[in-house]
Amino acid sequence: MVRQKSFYIFFIFLVSSFTLLPAQDYYGWTYGQILDTGVKPGIKPAYKFPVSKQHHYGCYGFSVKHLAKYKYKLSIDVNAAEKKIGKDRNKLWSGQNIGDFLDLYKLKMNYFSDVGTLFNFLIMGEPVIIQYKWPVDAKNWVGHFVVAYSFDKQGVWVSDSIANKCLRIPYRSFLKGTGTQTLFAFGILSR
């Protein structure tokens, strides 16, 4: 039932976005199984995806900024938006902050966690917002939001606002156990 519900939500999103479904449903597959099919991303890793330097605790806002610029040519001033919604820049983004931020720009986010669904979006050239393990030191990490826009055998290519550049992150930095699920839900931005 979960698989059917996830694929149904995926199908509804795609139909509402006027996007064709990929030929293969990779739901439940590991990232290795998917890569072994020889699939290619819809956007090449070398693409100059929008990226800019974030301030402390700004990664969610900057990820939405970069993705909204790519998809809708929308300019977002994260600093002004945070002030408008009352987000404390010394704290991580809360669920309330995220909802208020998206509402401010009349945006929506649909969430998924299956790696097959993630690949289906990237194959079709639909970037997603993911969260991955950003190392704080040798033993600790925090979740860091970035836009994933492409992939290759070693990992996904992301627009990273801490590094202020596009780079590849390894699959194990954002996938669970066998590699069929993401550590955190990933988001698809829409209007």
Strand pairing partners for 168?
157
pLDDT tens track for 102-157 = 999 999 999 999 999 999 999 999 999 999 988 888 898 888 999 999 999 999 99
pLDDT at 14 exceeding the cut of 80: no
Query: Taking the model in full, what pTM does it have?
Result: 0.86
Query: Which pLDDT does position 162 carry in this prediction?
Result: 93
pLDDT over 60 at 82, yes or no: yes
2-75+109-190 domain in CATH 1.20.120?
no
Show the tokens assigned to 120.
Answer: 């289906």
Cα torsion 78, 80, 85, 88: sign: positive
Q: Where are the domains of the chain?
A: 2-75+109-190
For residue 11, what pLDDT band results from cuts at 50, 70 and 90? very low
Distance from the first to the final alpha carbon of the chain: 28
Instruction: Convert 75-99 to b/e letters by CB count within 10 Å (16 or more is b).
Output: ebebeebbeebebeeeeebeeebbe
Mean residue pLDDT across the chain: 89
